[in-house]
Chains A and B, each alone.
Chain A
Amino acid sequence: MSIKLLLELFITFFKIGIFTFGGGYAMIPLITEEVITKGWLTSEQLMDFIAISESTPGPFAINIATFIGYNQQGVLGSILTTFGVVLPSFIIILIIAKAFHKFASNKYVVGFLSGVKPVIVGIIFSVAVGFILKSIFNISVLELSEIDFKWSTLLIFACVFTMTRIWKKIHPIFIILVSGMMGLIIYGLIL
């Protein structure tokens, strides 16, 4: 057990907790940056974990904090990361509940959010592009020339994406099941 790593886990997730506006998926870009550059997860492991988090109860933020904390430093690590990611919300909401009832209609808050929301949409699109490149072509944006083109992976993407566009209320767990089955069939039986 390393006190330094425990502290770093706590601080990293505290930082992530401060800057997550707009729900779980808005967190993925920050997680990607912090956690992958620190070597706590590879981008494949992060994608695997998003699938696990979507198939288990609870908010994504808490689930991923717990998972990474446990992977790095066991139960104590998972408690610290979860505590870290929750603490900013907890403090901010207490202050608002106590003293700042008109918070959501304050002009600076409205202005700040009107700029943050579109930027986050752009950031999430960039994460989606990164994940598509990694999962389908096994490359990242900065190494486009080493493209590894496979019909099989493109086929899975086309099927799953079409399915979600036709059947818009489809539950994420179902998408994970279908893509998992297709992976098993295509890699396990055909290739």
Chain B
Amino acid sequence: MQFILFWTFFKIGLFTFGGGYAMIPFIHQYAVEKYKWITDDEFLDIIAIAESTPGPIAINSATYIGYKVKGVSGSALATLGVVLPSLIIITLIAAFFMQFKDNVYVEFAFKGIRIGVAVLVLNAAIRMYKKLDKKLLSYFLILIGFLLVLFELLPVILVIVIGGVIGIIYQLVKARGEEV
């Protein structure tokens, strides 16, 4: 059982390209449909928890499902499984990449690729913007985050915490308004 848990998350780590959200269907397929480690409802809970806690969704869901199946040792095995493919592949690439980075054609290609990456980040920002609640407070916070970090006025962590505190105050004031 413990080996299956490790191996399943190893496969999930190995076959998902392009970040955490690409993993969700795989996780559902194995953990809910094939091995029945968790129910559909629990799966939805895990996604909600993974989205409300820091860290990559892949790690969060591996830890949670591993715990459900086999306690703390299960969560350690599942997390190790999902991390190991990256650790191995990227270490190999890092060793390999060093030999090619001074090649002039590689540098030409990467000059283009950096522009592609700027587009990827811009699209990620647009995608996340579309998922937000469109209320006045959101626009204000977007502007705050944008300007403070663009002009390097405050450290990123502080800006994130300020956003969170404003969010809590807003929710508490709103809740009190509804009580009255």
Contact = CB atoms under 8 A, between A and B. Distances in A.
B164 A112 contact: yes
Contact residues of A: prevailing secondary structure: helix
A29, A54, A126: residue with the most chain B Cβ atoms closer than 10 Å: A126
Interface in A143-191: 153, 156-157, 160-161, 164, 171-173, 175-176, 178-184, 186-188
Contacts of A184: 105, 108-109, 112
Interface residues of B, number: 99
B20, B45, B118, B167: residue with the most chain A Cβ atoms closer than 10 Å: B118
Interface residues of A, number: 106
A92 B123 CA distance: 30
B156 A176 contact: no
B165 A66 contact: no
A118 B113 CA distance: 28
A94 B72 contact: yes
B48, B142, B156, B175: residue with the most chain A Cβ atoms closer than 10 Å: B156
B156 A123 contact: yes
A103 B124 CA distance: 27
A10 interface: no
A78 B88 CA distance: 10
B110 interface: yes
B150 A130 contact: yes
A9 interface: no
Given A128-B122, A179-B119, A70 B90 contact: yes
Nearest to B109: A180
A116 B169 CA distance: 12
Interface in B135-180: 137-139, 141-147, 149-152, 155-157, 159-160, 162-172, 175
29 contacts: A17-B54, A19-B156, A21-B54, A23-B57, A29-B149, A47-B114, A50-B120, A56-B17, A57-B15, A57-B16, A57-B86, A58-B13, A86-B55, A86-B83, A109-B52, A112-B165, A113-B51, A119-B159, A122-B142, A123-B149, A123-B159, A125-B146, A126-B146, A127-B121, A128-B124, A136-B115, A156-B112, A180-B109, A180-B112
Given A131-B114, A180-B113, 10 more contacts: A24-B19, A57-B89, A59-B16, A78-B87, A89-B60, A108-B168, A112-B168, A115-B137, A115-B165, A122-B142
